[in-house]
């Protein structure tokens, strides 16, 4: 019997020690690739890595050619570059504008292009004369019929469609979709990521809604008094609510920017920050705080408007009677004002909770769920699962679970509200 040898386990990040992206040596040594930029060669290595996933999933066209999906936003994330550079690198590799290592097929309707990755060892074929004369010629497009579509039809109805897709195996496009016995749900629940994403979502939601309520109630109470300039203040407080979420994300990303951000400059001038180049968005300890601040700034005006409408409906004679009996403002607030607007508070909190639970735009554009997934909420995870990993089945399953959670919250709220009303 062979003597057993003790081998140690992989711990933490050690599991990634032997995962590599491979860049062909010929791209470095070959004369035909001397003019190709280093970043473009790295991008080609990333494209080759995705070929294995495509082959596994059966992503072939009618001619048997393997194709991949690699949206520009994924390129930007993987290479840590801007949109313009990602476009230029793709153009370097493209058959229409560059060396010809890839060929892109446009699908339209905001769908990602199909990318054919070509063999780097193949004999170089000169470009057609038309392309040499006119660099604006569009890349050759394969007819849409050449790409296999799903064989299984679904209802296409909102809400029902994701539940149908979540129960099907749709990764293998060559064989079509088929029932997979809830494998997508087991994948989502069993990988351990779901509970972490749910916990992250709850931290974000309760942190956001809690701050919105405290700030919104304080400002609503202020605006409900006879303060000078009350009308102008009301209009000023509503401004953040009128700004689109994407603009809010860009604005606060700039304010939190490490080198040129306004906050770092102000905090440094006030002596509140030792590091003048604090990485707010890239620091796992502060990333969640940044998106909470941005969302609170964006959504607090809604809280102010709702609570202020409730405060203005409180009977003034009850407050006056309490004051005559010797009650101070705090006693009136706790015993008369807040109980009187309890239905308004409940409605406002539940709507704010649901809105924050679904928040996507600000989180995606500020942190993209990072760093190291500390801001990956269920909305971000669903998007990445379906449209970055191209696992539509698992993404739909995650979306259905998300829908069930929100439906349960609304149901519980309605039951509790009815009980209190009765």
Dump the DSSP string for 301-355.
HHHHHHHHHHHTTS-HHHHHHHHHTT--HHHHIIIIIHHHTHHHHHHHHHHHHHH
User: Domain spans of the chain?
Assistant: 18-146, 190-421
Q: Any idea which fold 18-146 has? A: Arc Repressor Mutant, subunit A (1.10.10)
Angle at 409 between CA 404 and CA 414, to 5 degrees: 125
Residue 19: how many other CB atoms lie within 10 Å: 7
Beta strand pairing status for 102-105 and 178-179? Answer: unpaired
Of 108-112, 182-186, 217-221, 409-413, which range is least confident? 108-112
- Identify which of 251, 252, 225, 222 has the alpha carbon closest to the alpha carbon of residue 237: 222
Directed axis angle between helix 342-357 and helix 392-421, to 10°?
180
Retrieve residue 407's tokens: 């439906």
At 145, the pLDDT band (50, 70, 90 cuts) reads very low
Q: How far apart are CA 351 and CA 394, in angstroms?
A: 28
Q: Are 188 and 397 in contact (CB under 8 A)?
A: yes
Among 8-22, 153-167, 305-319, 404-418, which range has the highest average pLDDT? 305-319
5 or 302, greater pLDDT? 302
What is the predicted pLDDT for the residue at 187?
77
pLDDT at 166 over 60: no
Q: How far apart are CA 252 and CA 295, in angstroms?
A: 10
CA-based R_g, the chain, Å: 28
At 181, the pLDDT band (50, 70, 90 cuts) reads low
Domains 18-146 and 190-421 belong to one CATH topology: no
Retrieve residue 31's tokens: 């004369």
Mean pLDDT of the chain: 80
pLDDT at 90 over 80: yes
106-135 pLDDT tens trace: 765 556 788 989 888 755 444 444 444 444
283 or 299, greater pLDDT? 299
pLDDT at 325 over 90: no
- For residue 168, give the H/E element and its range: strand 168-169
130 or 401, greater pLDDT? 401
267 or 162, greater pLDDT? 267
Q: Please, is 241 exposed, middle or buried when counting C-beta atoms within 10 Å of its C-beta (0-12, 13-18, 19+)?
A: middle
What is the predicted pLDDT for the residue at 148?
41
% of the chain surpassing 70 pLDDT = 79
Q: How far apart are CA 399 and CA 56, in angstroms?
A: 24
Among 98-112, 183-197, 298-312, 397-411, which range has the highest average pLDDT? 298-312
What is the predicted pLDDT for the residue at 373?
83
207-236 pLDDT tens trace: 999 999 999 999 999 998 888 888 888 888
CATH superfamily, domain 190-421, is MetI-like (1.10.3720.10)
Mean predicted confidence (pLDDT) in 411-421: 74
342-386 pLDDT tens trace: 989 999 999 999 999 989 999 999 988 878 788 999 999 888 888
What is the predicted pLDDT for the residue at 326?
84
pLDDT at 172 over 60: no
pLDDT at 190 over 90: no
Entry pTM: 0.60
What is the predicted pLDDT for the residue at 300?
94
Mean predicted confidence (pLDDT) in 135-156: 44
Of 8-12, 79-83, 103-107, 158-162, which range is least confident? 158-162
Mean predicted confidence (pLDDT) in 29-36: 86
What is the helix, strand, coil percentage profile of the chain, to 5? 60, 5, 35
Q: Are 291 and 204 in contact (CB under 8 A)?
A: yes
Q: How far apart are CA 343 and CA 154, in angstroms?
A: 41
Q: Are 53 and 46 in contact (CB under 8 A)?
A: no
């Amino acid at each position: 019997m062979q003597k057993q040898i003790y081998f140690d386990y992989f711990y933490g990040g050690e599991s990634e020690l032997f995962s590599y992206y491979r860049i062909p040596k010929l791209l470095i040594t070959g004369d035909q690739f001397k003019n190709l930029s280093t970043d473009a060669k790295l991008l080609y290595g990333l494209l080759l890595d995705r070929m294995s996933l495509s082959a596994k999933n059966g992503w072939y066209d009618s001619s048997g050619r393997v194709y991949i999906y690699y949206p520009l936003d994924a390129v930007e994330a993987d290479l840590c570059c801007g949109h313009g550079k990602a476009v230029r690198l793709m153009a370097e590799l493209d058959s229409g504008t560059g060396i010809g290592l890839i060929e892109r097929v446009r699908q339209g309707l905001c769908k990602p292009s199909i990318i054919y990755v070509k063999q780097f060892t193949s004999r170089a074929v000169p470009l057609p004369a038309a392309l040499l004369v006119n660099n604006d010629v569009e890349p050759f497009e394969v007819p849409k019929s050449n790409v296999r579509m799903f064989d299984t039809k679904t209802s296409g109805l909102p809400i029902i469609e994701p539940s149908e897709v979540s129960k099907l195996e749709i990764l293998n496009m060559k064989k079509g979709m088929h029932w997979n016995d809830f494998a997508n749900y087991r994948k989502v629940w069993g990988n351990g990521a779901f509970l972490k994403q749910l916990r992250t979502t709850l931290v974000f939601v309760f942190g956001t809604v809690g701050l919105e309520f405290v700030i919104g109630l304080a400002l609503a109470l202020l605006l409900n008094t006879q303060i000078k300039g009350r009308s102008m203040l009301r209009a000023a407080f509503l401004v953040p609510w009128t700004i689109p979420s994407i603009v809010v994300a860009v604005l606060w990303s700039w304010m939190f920017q490490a080198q040129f951000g306004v906050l770092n400059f102000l905090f440094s001038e006030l002596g509140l920050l030792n590091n003048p180049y604090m990485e707010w968005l890239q620091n796992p300890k502060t990333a969640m705080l940044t998106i909470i601040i941005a969302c609170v700034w964006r959504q607090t005006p809604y809280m102010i408007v709702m609570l202020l409408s409730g405060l203005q409906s409180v009977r003034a004679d009850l407050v006056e009677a309490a004051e005559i009996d010797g009650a101070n403002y705090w006693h009136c607030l706790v015993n008369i004002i807040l109980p009187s607007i309890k239905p308004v508070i409940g409605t406002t909190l539940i709507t704010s909770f649901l809105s924050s639970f679904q928040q996507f735009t600000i989180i995606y554009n500020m942190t993209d769920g990072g760093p190291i997934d500390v801001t990956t909420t269920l909305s971000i995870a669903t998007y990445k699962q379906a449209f970055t990993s191209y696992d539509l089945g698992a993404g739909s399953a995650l979306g259905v679970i998300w829908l069930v959670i929100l439906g349960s919250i609304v149901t519980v709220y309605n039951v509790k509200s009815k009980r209190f009303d009765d």
